[in-house]
Amino acid sequence: MATTDAGLWCVVPAAGRGARVGSAVPKQYLPIAGKPLLLHTLGRLAAHPCIAGLMVVLAAEDALWPGLHEIAGKPILTATGGAERADSVLAGLRALRGKVEDSQFTLVHDAARPCIHAADISRLIEQGIRAGGALLAAPVRDTLKRADTQGRVAATEPREARWRALTPQLFRCGELIAALESARAAGIAVTDEAMAMEHMGHKPLLVEGSEDTIKVTTSADFALAEFLLARMD
Ligand code: CTP
Ligand code: MG
221 lines ligand 1 (CB under 6 A): no
Residue 79 predicted with pLDDT over 60: yes
Inter-helix orientation angle 220-231/37-46, to 10°:
30
pTM value > 0.85:
yes
Catalogue the long-range contacts made by 210-214 (C-beta closer than 8 Å, 24 or more residues apart): 210/117, 210/120, 210/138, 211/138, 212/115, 212/117, 213/113, 213/115, 213/116, 213/117, 213/120, 213/136, 213/138, 213/166, 213/167, 214/113, 214/115
User: What is the three-class DSSP state of 30?
Assistant: coil
Q: Model confidence over 98-154: pLDDT tens digits?
A: 999 999 999 999 999 999 999 999 999 999 999 999 999 999 999 999 999 999 999
Ligand 2 centroid to Cα of residue 175, in Å, is 24
Q: Model confidence over 153-164: pLDDT tens digits?
A: 999 999 999 999
The pLDDT of residue 40 is 98
Q: Model confidence over 84-93: pLDDT tens digits?
A: 999 999 999 9
Residue 27 predicted with pLDDT over 90: yes
217 lines ligand 1 (CB under 6 A): yes
Ligand number with the minimum distance to the CA of 85: 1
20 lines ligand 1 (CB under 6 A): yes
Reduced to 3 DSSP states, what percent helix, strand and coil does the chain have, rounded to the nearest 5? 35, 25, 40
Ligand number with the minimum distance to the CA of 23: 1
Ligand 2 centroid to Cα of residue 16, in Å, is 6
The pLDDT of residue 6 is 58
Residue 5 predicted with pLDDT over 90: no
Residue 3 predicted with pLDDT over 60: no
88 lines ligand 1 (CB under 6 A): yes
Pocket test residue of 110, 184, 191, 216 for ligand 1, highest count of atoms within 8 A of CB: 110
Ligand number with the minimum distance to the CA of 13: 1
The pLDDT of residue 233 is 72
Full set of structural domains in the chain with CATH: 8-230 (3.90.550.10)
The pLDDT of residue 4 is 45
Q: Which residues of 95-127 are buried (b: 16+ CB within 10 A; e: fewer)?
A: bbeeebbeebbbbbbbbbbbbbbbebbebbbee
The pLDDT of residue 180 is 98
Rounded to the nearest integer, the mean pLDDT of the chain is 96
Ligand number with the minimum distance to the CA of 87: 1
User: What is the three-class DSSP state of 96?
Assistant: helix
> For residue 2, what pLDDT band results from cuts at 50, 70 and 90?
very low
Q: What mean pLDDT comes out for the span 7-23?
A: 97
State the closest ligand 1 atom to the C-alpha of 82, by its place in the atom list counted from 1: 8
Of the chain, the percentage scoring pLDDT greater than 90 comes to 96
In the structure, how many helices (H) and strands (E) does the chain have?
7, 12
14 lines ligand 1 (CB under 6 A): yes
Q: Name beta bridge partners: 215.
A: none
Pocket test residue of 11, 17, 32, 56 for ligand 1, highest count of atoms within 8 A of CB: 17
> For residue 1, what pLDDT band results from cuts at 50, 70 and 90?
very low
Compute the C-alpha angle 38/44/49, nearest 5°: 140
Distance (Å, whole) CA 145 – CA 141: 12
Whole-angstrom CA distances from 163 to 36, 115, 156, 209, 214 are: 30, 19, 16, 11, 14
What are φ and ψ of residue 27, in 5° steps? -55, -30
Q: Model confidence over 176-218: pLDDT tens digits?
A: 999 999 999 999 999 999 999 999 999 999 999 998 899 999 9
23 lines ligand 1 (CB under 6 A): no
Q: Name beta bridge partners: 137.
A: 165, 208
Cis amide leading into 114 (omega within 30): no
